[in-house]
């Protein structure tokens, strides 16, 4: 079993930056894939970015060039650096861990992009 906890959300003006953190309860090298998803009001949850245990990354088209997923294995933490934020990025951002025993979600952290 894996527990994940997100932090780092908040209110930001358009064009600004935020960094989200996701701390896992076990070594992230043991987790097949860790990802960031988001869910805007009235919309379905969607993949933002993911990183495999081998370090391969994948991004949704709408964040390519703006967001970067990275990890710190010493801290069992995966980050989502979000630059050039747009109002359309407003959503609750969830961390996801795809592990051998199942898929685990955090509680989410809210991001609001508004002037």
pLDDT in tens, 62-77: 998 999 999 999 999 9
108 in Cβ contact with 41 (< 8 Å): no
pLDDT in tens, 35-61: 999 999 999 999 999 999 999 999 999
Rounded to 5°, angle at Cα 67 from 91 and 50: 85
Count Cβ neighbours within 10 Å for each residue of 46-58 and write b for 16 or more, e otherwise. eebbbbebeeeee
Residue 27, pLDDT above cutoff 90: no
Q: What whole-number percentage of the chain has pLDDT above 70?
A: 100
């Amino acid at each position: 079993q894996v527990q994940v906890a997100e932090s780092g959300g908040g209110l930001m003006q358009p064009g600004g930056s935020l960094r989200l953190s996701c701390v896992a309860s076990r070594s992230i090298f043991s987790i097949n894939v860790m990802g960031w998803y988001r869910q805007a009001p009235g919309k379905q949850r969607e993949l933002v970015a993911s990183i495999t245990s081998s370090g391969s990354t994948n991004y949704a088209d709408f964040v390519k060039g703006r967001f970067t997923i990275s990890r710190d294995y010493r801290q069992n933490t995966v980050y989502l650096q979000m630059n050039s934020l747009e109002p359309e990025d407003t959503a609750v951002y969830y961390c996801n861990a795809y592990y051998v025993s199942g898929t685990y979600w955090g509680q989410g952290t809210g991001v609001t992009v508004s002037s």
